[in-house]
Amino acid sequence: MSSKESCRNELRSAIRQLSNRCLYSAAQWAAEQLVGIEQDPAKYTPTNTRFQRGSSSIRRRFRTNDITSTPVAGVSYVSTPVMEEDEVEDSDFYLLAKSYFDCREYRRAAHVLRDQTGRRSVFLRCYALYLAGEKRKEEEMIELEGPLGKSNAVNRELISLERELSTSWKNGTVDPFGLYLYGIVLKDKGNENLAHTVLVESVNSYPWNWNAWSELKSLCTSIDILNSLNLNNHWMKDYFLASAYQELRMHNESLTKYEYLQGTFSFSNYIQAQIAKAQYSLREFEQVEVIFEELLRNDPYRVDDMDMYSNVLYAKECFSALSYLAHRVFMTDKYRPESCCIIGNYYSLKGQHEKSVVYFRRALKLDKNYLSAWTLMGHEYVEMKNTPAAIDAYRRAVDINPRDYRAWYGLGQAYEMMHMPLYALHYFRKSVFLQPNDSRLWIAMAQCYETEQLHMLEEAIKCYRRAANCNDSEAIALNQLAKLHHALGRDEEAAFYYKKDLERMEAEEREGPNMVEALIFLATHCRAHGRFEEAEVYCTRLLDYTGPEKETAKIMLRGMRMAQSSFPPMDVEHFPP
Partner 1 sequence: MAGILKPPGAFAVTPHKVSVCILIQMYAPPAMMSVPFPFSSVAQHNRFGLYLFALTKSCDDIMEPKLDELINQLREIGDVLYQWLTDQLISRLSSLSSPDDLFNLFSDLRAILGGADLSAVDDEQVVLDPNSNLGMFVRRCLLAFNLLCFEGVCHLLTSIGIYCKEALSSCSAYELPCLDDSSNELEALSEYENMDLENIVFEKVNKEIEARKKASEEVSFHLHAPKALFGLVEDIKVSAVSKSQGGDKCREASPSAHAPNDAMREFDSISGAFLRTNWQMQGYLMEQADAIEKHGSSFSLNAFELILRQLQKLAPELHRVHFLRYLNSLYHDDYFAALENLHRYFDYSAGTEGFDFAQPSIGCNSFGRYEIALLCLGMMHFHFGHPKQALDVLTEAVCLSQQHSNDTCLAYTLAAISNLLSEIGISTTTGILGSSYSPITSIGTTLSVQQQLFVLLKESFRRAESLKLKRLVAANHLAMAKFDLTHVQRPLLSFGPKTAMRLRTCPTNVCKELRLASHLISDFVSESSTMTTDGAFSTSWLKNLQKPMGSLVLTQENVSGKDSNAFQFCAQPSSIPGSVLQLVGSSYLLRATAWEAYGSAPLTRVNTLIYATCFSDGSSLSDVALAHMKLIQHLAVFKGYKEAFSALKIAEEKFLSVSKSRILLLKLQLLHERSLHRGHLKLAQKVCDELGVMASSVTGVDMDLKTEASLRHARTLLAANQFSEAAAVAHSLFCMCYKFNLQVENASVLLLLAEIHKKSGNAVLGIPYALASLSFCQLLNLDLLKASATLTLAELWLSFGPNHAKMASNLIQQALPLILGHGGLELRARAFIAEAKCLLSDPSFSVSQNPEAVLDPLRQASEELQVLEYHELAAEAFYLIAIVSDKLGRLAEREEAAALFKEHVLALENENRQDEVDPLPSTP
> Which residue ranges make up the site for partner 1 (CB under 8 A)?
140, 143-144, 146-154, 156, 159-160, 163, 189-191, 361, 364, 377-378, 381, 386-396, 399, 411, 415, 418-423, 426-427, 453-454
The dihedral sign for the CA sequence 168, 18, 225, 133: negative
Which residues are CB-contacts of 503 (< 8 A; sequence separation ≥ 6)?
Answer: none
**Long-range contacts of residues 474-482, Cβ cutoff 8 Å, at least 24 apart:** 474/439, 474/440, 474/443, 475/501, 475/504, 475/505, 475/508, 475/510, 475/514, 476/443, 477/439, 477/442, 477/443, 477/446, 478/504, 479/514, 479/517, 479/518, 480/443, 480/446, 480/450, 482/518, 482/521
- Please check whether residue 350 is in contact with residue 320, taking contact to mean a CB–CB distance below 8 angstroms: no
Task: Indicate the SS3 state at residue 149.
Answer: strand
Tally of residues, the chain = 577
Q: Which amino acid is at 373?
A: A
Q: Which residue lies nearer to partner 1 by CB, 82 or 389? A: 389
- Please check whether residue 512 is in contact with residue 485, taking contact to mean a CB–CB distance below 8 angstroms: no
Q: Which residue lies nearer to partner 1 by CB, 154 or 318? A: 154
Q: Which residue lies nearer to partner 1 by CB, 167 or 437? A: 167
State the minimum distance, in angstroms, from the CB of residue 162 to partner 1.
Answer: 8
Which residues are CB-contacts of 356 (< 8 A; sequence separation ≥ 6)?
Answer: 343, 344, 345, 346, 347, 348, 380
Task: Indicate the SS3 state at residue 146.
Answer: strand
Q: Which residue lies nearer to partner 1 by CB, 148 or 507? A: 148
State the minimum distance, in angstroms, from the CB of residue 313 to partner 1.
Answer: 25
State the minimum distance, in angstroms, from the CB of residue 335 to partner 1.
Answer: 19
Q: Which residue lies nearer to partner 1 by CB, 206 or 394? A: 394
State the minimum distance, in angstroms, from the CB of residue 417 to partner 1.
Answer: 11
- Please check whether residue 560 is in contact with residue 536, taking contact to mean a CB–CB distance below 8 angstroms: yes
State the minimum distance, in angstroms, from the CB of residue 437 to partner 1.
Answer: 24
State the minimum distance, in angstroms, from the CB of residue 368 to partner 1.
Answer: 10
- Please check whether residue 381 is in contact with residue 387, taking contact to mean a CB–CB distance below 8 angstroms: yes
**Long-range contacts of residues 45-52, Cβ cutoff 8 Å, at least 24 apart:** 52/267
Q: Which residue lies nearer to partner 1 by CB, 383 or 534? A: 383
CA gap 197, 219 in Å, rounded: 11
Q: Which residue lies nearer to partner 1 by CB, 208 or 360? A: 360
CA gap 462, 458 in Å, rounded: 6
DSSP 16-81: HHHHHTT-HHHHHHHHHHHHHSPP-TTTS-HHHHHHHHTTHHHHHHH-SS--TT-PPTT-----PP
State the minimum distance, in angstroms, from the CB of residue 153 to partner 1.
Answer: 8
CA gap 196, 184 in Å, rounded: 10
State the minimum distance, in angstroms, from the CB of residue 455 to partner 1.
Answer: 8
Q: Which residue lies nearer to partner 1 by CB, 116 or 387? A: 387
State the minimum distance, in angstroms, from the CB of residue 133 to partner 1.
Answer: 12
Number of neighbours of residue 188 by Cβ within 10 angstroms: 18
Q: Which residue lies nearer to partner 1 by CB, 361 or 504? A: 361
DSSP 262: H
Q: Which residue lies nearer to partner 1 by CB, 267 or 370? A: 370
Q: Which residue lies nearer to partner 1 by CB, 78 or 144? A: 144
CA gap 334, 66 in Å, rounded: 39
Angular region, 39: left φ>0, alpha ψ -120 to 50, beta rest: beta
State the minimum distance, in angstroms, from the CB of residue 190 to partner 1.
Answer: 4
Q: Which residue lies nearer to partner 1 by CB, 10 or 380? A: 380
State the minimum distance, in angstroms, from the CB of residue 159 to partner 1.
Answer: 5
State the minimum distance, in angstroms, from the CB of residue 418 to partner 1.
Answer: 6
